Amino acid sequence: MVKNHKHIEIVRPTIKGLSSMSSASCDSIFDVLNKHFDEVGVTIVNNSADLGDLIESCPDLVFLGMEFIPTDSALGLADPNRIWLSDILDSYGISYTGSSQRAHELERNKHLAKQRVLDANLKTSAFCVVKQNQSLDMINVPLDFPLFIKPTDRGGGLGVDSDSVVHGFDQLRTKVHSITTTFRSDALIEEYLPGREFSVAILKYKNSAGYLAMPIELVAPADKNGSRLLSGQVKSENVEQVLEVTDTIVRSKVITLALAVFDALGARDYGRIDIRLDNNGTPHFLEANLIPSLISGYGSFPKACLLNIGLDYEPMIMTIANLALARNVNEIVDVPELVMMSSSVLQSSEIVFAAA
């Protein structure tokens, strides 16, 4: 195989809480890219000096596995003066995978993403935020029980467990205290949605304004309270059941909301939108992940690509890389990707093809 003459750097941190890419995911992505490009490396970025080294190496493409670094390492995730990698890379004209800074900022702060969705007249459950060290009483929480509580700025199900659904103030206070002290995060409190849960992988189609929206239903094992929650433990153990969405009405509603949310957040190229139904079967936005887990056989995004259109891991990774490279009009990329799939395969899979 003749390799493409490009320099690709996979970028991730080793600081806990900053990474959107595990070491296993990094290794898998490296193996794919190394088959198709002349120079593929992995750059660890934990601070501004590391970021400077990345810029100095002048890669043709950065495969992003993180969003930002703090200016003050002692503050970590709580640092309000963050350095967003996408913003810096844009300023140096370096291509990178996925969305730009503003979309990442909304995704990272779940309450801001929900507010943006509401501002776009889209459905998400009513919510409020309790900040760290804020006293909690019911006047701060103008919502109806049952409620669902999680950190405002953590992914991977962190902070979600069998105590996340609460039915009274004492339970609420205990869970909020757990989140604000354990994760040093503000607590997002939402009215609980009791219906089915879906994850929608969204992937731009090459040389088109269209996006493929690929939904799957996720069914977590019931916890001690009978709730089915995609907790940190369920996600890490990869034990949730993954189902094809065959009901055409539900499928259409879920896809329509996912594409509208993706657009409202200003996302691009690829990402994952999570959705849950209310008591009446109406889809509501839960959260977005614009750097979703990309391990073969693990995580909702690869599973959705495979189940919906038979897109295997290698062409999935190459599609994501090529979308970023294609933003430079002078790039000519000749490697396997989604374009290999025939239009008949896409049509038979009933994928909605619409601009996000």
The string of pLDDT tens digits covering residues 104-149 is 999 999 999 999 999 999 999 999 999 988 888 877 788 999 999 9
Pairing of strands 283-289, 197-204: unpaired
Q: Calculate mean pLDDT across residues 28-54.
A: 96
Query: What confidence score (pLDDT) does residue 225 get?
Result: 83
Res. 274 pLDDT band, cuts 50 70 90: very high
Q: Calculate mean pLDDT across residues 152-162.
A: 84
Res. 356 pLDDT band, cuts 50 70 90: low
Residues 6+ apart with CB under 8 A from 298: 238
**pLDDT per residue over 160-204, tens digit each?**
888 899 999 999 999 999 999 988 889 999 999 999 999 999 999
Query: Whose structure tokens read 């000096």?
Result: 49
Give the DSSP per-residue string, 238-250: T--EEEE---HHH
pTM reported for the whole predicted model: 0.91
Query: What confidence score (pLDDT) does residue 206 get?
Result: 72
Residues 6+ apart with CB under 8 A from 238: 297, 298
Query: What confidence score (pLDDT) does residue 184 get?
Result: 84
**Distance of alpha carbon 86 from the chain centroid:** 15
> Where does residue 133 fall: left (phi above 0), alpha (psi -120 to 50 degrees), or beta otherwise?
left
- Report residue 218: phi and psi, to 5°: -115, 130
Q: Which residue has the higher pLDDT, 273 or 138?
A: 273
Query: What confidence score (pLDDT) does residue 345 get?
Result: 44
**pLDDT per residue over 58-113, tens digit each?**
999 999 999 999 887 766 676 678 899 999 999 999 999 999 999 999 999 999 99
Give me the residue spans of the domains in the chain. Answer: 4-96, 126-191, 197-355
Query: What confidence score (pLDDT) does residue 294 get?
Result: 93
**pLDDT per residue over 313-351, tens digit each?**
999 999 999 999 998 755 545 544 544 444 444 444 445
Q: Which residue has the higher pLDDT, 344 or 290?
A: 290
Res. 221 pLDDT band, cuts 50 70 90: confident
**pLDDT exceeds cutoff 80 at 38:** yes
Query: What confidence score (pLDDT) does residue 139 get?
Result: 77
The CA angle 80-81-84, to the nearest 5 degrees, is 110
Beta bridge partners of 61: 8, 95
Query: What confidence score (pLDDT) does residue 129 get?
Result: 94
Q: Calculate mean pLDDT across residues 234-261.
A: 91
The span from the CA of 113 to the CA of 277, in Å, is 18
Give the DSSP per-residue string, 37-96: EEEEEEEE-SSHHHHHHHHHH--SEEEESB-EEESSTTTGGG-SSEEEHHHHHHHTT-EE
Coil/strand/helix, residue 133: coil
Query: What confidence score (pLDDT) does residue 332 get?
Result: 45
The span from the CA of 73 to the CA of 274, in Å, is 31
What average pLDDT is seen over the chain? 88
Query: What confidence score (pLDDT) does residue 305 get?
Result: 95
H/E stretch holding 34 reads helix 23-36
| Superfamily name and number for 197-355 | ATP-grasp fold, B domain (3.30.470.20)
The span from the CA of 182 to the CA of 176, in Å, is 10
**pLDDT exceeds cutoff 90 at 287:** yes
Coil/strand/helix, residue 301: helix
Identical fold, 126-191 and 197-355? no
Query: What confidence score (pLDDT) does residue 106 get?
Result: 94
Which CATH code is given to the segment(s) 126-191?
3.30.1490.20
Query: What confidence score (pLDDT) does residue 351 get?
Result: 53
The span from the CA of 93 to the CA of 88, in Å, is 9
